Amino acid sequence: MQTIKDLKQYTFPALLNNTLSKFSSRPALSFVNGTPLTYEQIGSKVKEVSALLHSLGIKKGDKVSIFSTSMPNWGASYFGIVNMGAIAVPLLPDFSAVEVTSILNHAQVSVMFVAEKLWNKVKDLSEDILPIVIKLDDLTFLRGEPEGFTISEFVNDVEVLEEDTASIIYTSGTTGRSKGVELTHKNLVWTAIQCQTVHRVNQRDKCLSFLPLSHVYEFTIGFVLIVLNGGCIYYLERPPTVSSLLPAFKKIRPTIVLSVPMIMEKIYKNKVFPTLNKTEFSKKLYKNPFFQKIMHKIAGSQLKKTFGGRICFFGIGGAKIDTKVEYFLKDAKFPYAIGYGLTETSPLLAGSSPKETIPGTVGPILRGVELAIINPDPETGIGEVVARGPNVMKGYYKESELTKSVFTTENDSVGAGWFKTGDLGLLHNGMWLELKGRLKNMILSSSGENIYPEDIEFVLNQHPLVNESLVVEEEGSLVALVQLDGEKLKKDGTIIEKLLAAGNAVGDAVHDFTEDILYKRDALISEIKFFVNEKVNKMSKISTIKFIENFEKTASQKIKRYVYSKDKKDKNDKKDKS
């Protein structure tokens, strides 16, 4: 396992030099349908990027953004930026031109690397905002190339320190307010090293990457950790759909994959569960716990083949996975792992390896990190999770007051200096984390009971016709916003279209439905309400269900709760009236 003795210091230059000394001839980065570049070739690209930026006058502390989908040149350019002491500002590929403009201004970015396919999004930005643009695909200029430009001999003599900022990562998250999270070289490199205590990576590992590298989850665990140990990473040339992923799994046969819960949940709900309950006989067998485990194991064997047959670590993070899906994966002996963290913590705080996962929980605290629970409920022990360790961010860029607000003070039970995650959870035996939801999402009932909407949503999402859901409070009652599974209702396109319109939580009222459509809508609402309300406690029962066509989501596929909250709607109403 790579240690501090190997790297001498927790910086990206030290990490890359260590990797080049051990794995220079090994395959490093590639497209799925390309030929892998070796680490030696990546090292040459890194020097080229650093020299290019130096020739443009970029100095230590200057900001350089990367606006691109994941590709080999993304990683090479990142190292090229941070190895000369500049600060990388990764931008999510789905950011709009407005969001990009806001970030470029806030971070005072000097140069942008942009993928050719995203250039149209920003090409109309003024040169005052975006003076120099380099096409990431081939490192040629799209804007601002100096006359007679050449890359001279470049010697990188910049001293990079562990506490220097390596990245400022902007994410809208689920709060609606974009914040620039400052992560140091030590934050990111230390976390990647410690991730090896969850799962050991080696030079023979192959990682299939389809999440954005601009997201710290994919960056630290799916890139830095792999590079640290000389593994090879393959990137999709196209968006991650069934038609692009399945051939990629078959061709690469990866050992490591990082994913978000939605992918495995869809596989289970749309493929596994319907197949195992296809006939009346199989339905009866499936209801028997003994036979259910056998059927899950058989399905798991096929699932492993679908993913290439060599998977040994299928990481799931970014959001909480449906516990029912976890039980299937456990029975199936599928090597899934659970991780929890935030952008502010680089990201990992706790996680379980495939051998130790327990459905419904996260797992042990990452070695070297401290977690605690503040303001716990006297009866349940549930309180806010706070963290302390080398992976906790430097702060929010240019936001000193906001930074202060997310750390504990001397008045808190744990003392000052702990990062407040905003997540509710409890620690079993002081070391095994279980999450219960977001602190700001918790609903306080009229009788003073704590209601956790995420728990209700897990039950809702188990309904065969529910794709996703969100539970909010409106006028003292619990309302479920429900996205129906279009695939299962495709047999009657007219019905599904009108059902969605009829109950759309953000649309206008529609009056031209036949009695048949309205009857089916009301019957479905009643059926879903019965399904969830018989499984939850008295305080968590749903009073109203509204259908919604699509939820707005973050990069990690979390629903943007703030868009649908009562507070948000009230503010919008006030704006409309003013």
Nearest-angstrom CA–CA distance, 168 and 163 = 13
The per-residue pLDDT for 464 is 84
**How is the chain split into domains, by residue range?**
4-187, 260-441, 443-577
The per-residue pLDDT for 52 is 94
Are 477 and 546 spatial neighbours (Cβ–Cβ below 8 Å)? no
The correct CATH number of 443-577 out of 3.10.105.10, 3.30.300.30, 3.30.1330.10, 3.30.450.20 is 3.30.300.30
Tell me the two tokens of residue 107. 């971070």
The per-residue pLDDT for 504 is 45
Are 385 and 421 spatial neighbours (Cβ–Cβ below 8 Å)? yes
- Can you say whether the dihedral through the CA atoms of 487, 489, 491, 492 is positive or negative? negative
Q: Is 4-187 a CATH 3.40.50.12780 domain?
A: yes
Backbone angles phi, psi at 402, to 5 degrees: -65, -40
The per-residue pLDDT for 507 is 37
Q: How far apart are the first and last CA of the chain?
A: 61
Nearest-angstrom CA–CA distance, 473 and 521 = 22
Output the CA angle 132-135-136, nearest 5 degrees: 120
Nearest-angstrom CA–CA distance, 262 and 321 = 8
Strand pairing class (432-438; 363-364): antiparallel
260-441 belongs to which homologous superfamily?
Answer: ANL, N-terminal domain (3.40.50.12780)
The per-residue pLDDT for 172 is 58
Backbone angles phi, psi at 33, to 5 degrees: -100, 25
Are 391 and 185 spatial neighbours (Cβ–Cβ below 8 Å)? no
The per-residue pLDDT for 518 is 64
Q: What is the secondary structure of 358-413 as a DSSP string?
A: -TT--EEBPTT-EEEEES--TTT--EEEEEESTTS-SEETT-HHHHHHTB--TTST
Strand pairing class (232-235; 27-31): parallel
Residues of the chain with pLDDT under 50: 173-176, 492-495, 498, 500, 502-513, 567-578
Letter for the amino acid at 456?
A: I
In 3D, which of 347, 384, 385, 351 has the Cα closest to residue 367?
A: 351
Distances (CA, A) of 61 to 16, 86, 103, 129, 415: 20, 5, 16, 18, 33
3-state SS class at 356: coil
b/e per residue 107-143 (b: at least 16 CB within 10 A): bebbbbbbbeebbebbeebeeeebebbbbbeebeebb
Q: Do domains 4-187 and 260-441 have the same CATH topology?
A: yes
* Run of H or E residues at 110: strand 109-114
Backbone angles phi, psi at 336, to 5 degrees: -90, 150
Q: How far, rounded to the nearest angstrom, does the alpha carbon of residue 65 sit from its chain's CA centroid?
A: 20
pTM of the model: 0.82
In 3D, which of 76, 71, 74, 68 has the Cα closest to residue 115?
A: 68
* Run of H or E residues at 169: strand 165-171
